[in-house]
């Protein structure tokens, strides 16, 4: 059943097309080893190639055993494997980041390195429905908006997630039937990381005390939010195009150059929009200009909207050191501070 479900997900989201070459992130756990086994079985049918990337984070005692397990699995299937041996704790201390964040950064940097090295065009990650629910709950706790409630997408740029519509229970059953004997990451049992607390404490509690179908319920919420966000994104782009007077956007990283970059919007048209669209247009314009909305917080957006609504004389805001919002001559100027 799992193989059929993965094929349905691939077809539904058009995750794989003929001629693709895909880097698979494989730890050796149930999720990634199932993904590897299934994609290896269907690669000829769908006409794509795979290579494997495995990371030994240098944290766990059994990490070397996991590495050998994945290597033997790939050797047996004649699949090319690339292995990175690193020390996440050392990097974490050096870069003054949390271990979880550092591990994620190192993983994705390595996956992208292998993608370039092997002339691949996609990276497959083994996130499943349970991972999606954990992400949604984490984002809720952090006070995320709709974008956080949509959870993990089946495809995000070059990253694809063929198992995203499969539950952890289905994956574990598949491993048992196929006798894959996946590795167990004992660090997942330690409730010192936020995700582990949600996985091992919060979700079991919600299942037992409030809703036995909490995984299905929150995945359904995630799907509803994705549909709503798609519509809002279309309306935001339409509103932006309608009110945009001028765009001056260099074809390089604005943060690393001295040249001026700006977007000018029609103030009157902006003020006619619903506040939900106003907020999204501001973020859309800033992202278009800088390639990111990092450093722009809720309070900044609210201050920008107040500035636009008041429309008294020449006023400006600097929500961060790179961005300046100016209101003058019935126009909104979103520009660099350089």
- 90 in a structural domain: yes
- 224 in a structural domain: no
pLDDT band of 124, cuts 50, 70, 90: very high
Q: Please indicate, yes or no, whether residues 165 and 206 belong to a single structural domain of this protein.
A: yes
Q: Please indicate, yes or no, whether residues 187 and 296 belong to a single structural domain of this protein.
A: no
CATH number for 255 = 1.20.59.20
- 18 in a structural domain: yes
Q: Could you tell me the end-to-end alpha-carbon distance of the chain, in angstroms, rounded to an integer?
A: 57
Q: Please indicate, yes or no, whether residues 52 and 22 belong to a single structural domain of this protein.
A: yes
Of the residues 148, 178, 212, the one at which a domain ends: 212
- 223 in a structural domain: no
- Residue 128, C-beta contacts closer than 8 angstroms, at least 6 positions apart: 31, 163, 164, 166, 167, 168, 171
pLDDT above 90 for 100: no
Q: Please indicate, yes or no, whether residues 72 and 157 belong to a single structural domain of this protein.
A: yes
Q: Please indicate, yes or no, whether residues 40 and 156 belong to a single structural domain of this protein.
A: yes
Parallel/antiparallel/unpaired status of strands 49-56 and 21-25: parallel
- 170 in a structural domain: yes
Q: Please indicate, yes or no, whether residues 141 and 262 belong to a single structural domain of this protein.
A: no
Contact indicator for 202, 44 with CB cutoff of 8 Å: no
Q: Please indicate, yes or no, whether residues 65 and 196 belong to a single structural domain of this protein.
A: yes
- 220 in a structural domain: no
Q: Please indicate, yes or no, whether residues 83 and 114 belong to a single structural domain of this protein.
A: yes
Q: How many CB atoms lie within 10 A of CB 105?
A: 15
Residue whose pair of structure tokens reads 């995700």 in the numeric block: 195
pLDDT above 90 for 337: no
Q: Please indicate, yes or no, whether residues 152 and 191 belong to a single structural domain of this protein.
A: yes
Mean pLDDT of 18-27: 97
| Angstrom distance (rounded) from CA 211 to CA 86 | 41
- 37 in a structural domain: yes
CATH number for 82 = 3.40.50.620
Q: Please indicate, yes or no, whether residues 104 and 164 belong to a single structural domain of this protein.
A: yes
Q: Please indicate, yes or no, whether residues 178 and 316 belong to a single structural domain of this protein.
A: no
- Given CA atoms 297, 298, 303, 307 in this order, what sign does their dihedral have? positive
pLDDT 10s digits, 125-158: 999 999 999 999 999 998 888 889 999 999 999 9
pLDDT 10s digits, 208-253: 999 999 999 999 999 999 999 999 999 999 999 999 999 988 765 5
pLDDT above 70 for 291: yes
pLDDT band of 257, cuts 50, 70, 90: very low
Q: Please indicate, yes or no, whether residues 236 and 332 belong to a single structural domain of this protein.
A: yes
- 253 in a structural domain: yes
Select the more confidently predicted residue: 102 or 254. Answer: 102
pLDDT above 80 for 169: yes
Could you give the number of structural domains in the chain?
2
Domain range enclosing 305: 230-336
């Amino acid at each position: 059943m799992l193989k059929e479900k993965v094929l349905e997900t691939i077809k539904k989201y058009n995750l794989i097309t003929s001629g693709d070459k895909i880097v698979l992130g494989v730890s050796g756990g149930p999720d990634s080893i199932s993904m590897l086994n299934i994609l290896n079985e269907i690669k000829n049918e769908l006409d794509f190639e795979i290579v494997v990337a495995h990371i030994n984070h240098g944290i766990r005692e059994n990490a070397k055993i996991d590495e050998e397990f994945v290597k033997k699995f790939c050797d047996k299937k004649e699949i090319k494997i690339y292995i990175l041996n690193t020390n996440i704790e050392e990097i974490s201390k050096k870069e003054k980041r949390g271990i979880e964040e550092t591990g994620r950064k190192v993983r994705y940097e390595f996956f992208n390195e292998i993608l370039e090295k092997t002339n691949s065009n996609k990276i497959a990650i083994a996130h499943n429905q349970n991972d999606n629910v954990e992400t949604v709950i984490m984002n809720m706790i952090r006070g995320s908006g709709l974008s956080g409630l949509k959870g993990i997408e089946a495809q995000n740029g070059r990253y694809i997630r063929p198992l995203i519509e499969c539950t952890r229970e289905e994956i574990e059953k598949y491993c048992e039937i196929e006798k894959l004997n996946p590795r167990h990451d004992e660090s997942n049992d330690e409730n010192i990381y936020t995700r582990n607390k949600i996985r091992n404490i919060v979700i079991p509690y919600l299942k037992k005390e409030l809703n036995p179908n909490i995984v299905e319920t929150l995945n359904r919420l995630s799907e509803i939010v994705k549909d709503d966000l798609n519509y809002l994104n279309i309306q935001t782009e339409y509103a932006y195009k309608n009110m945009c007077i001028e765009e001056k956007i260099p074809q390089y990283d604005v943060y690393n150059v001295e040249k001026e970059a700006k977007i000018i919007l029609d103030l009157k048209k902006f003020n006619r929009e619903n506040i939900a669209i106003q907020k999204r247009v501001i973020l859309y314009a800033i992202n278009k200009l800088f390639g990111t909305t990092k450093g722009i917080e809720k309070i900044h957006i609210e201050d920008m909207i107040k500035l636009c609504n008041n429309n008294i004389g020449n006023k400006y805001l600097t929500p961060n050191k790179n961005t300046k919002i100016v209101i003058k001559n019935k126009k909104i100027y979103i520009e660099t501070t350089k």
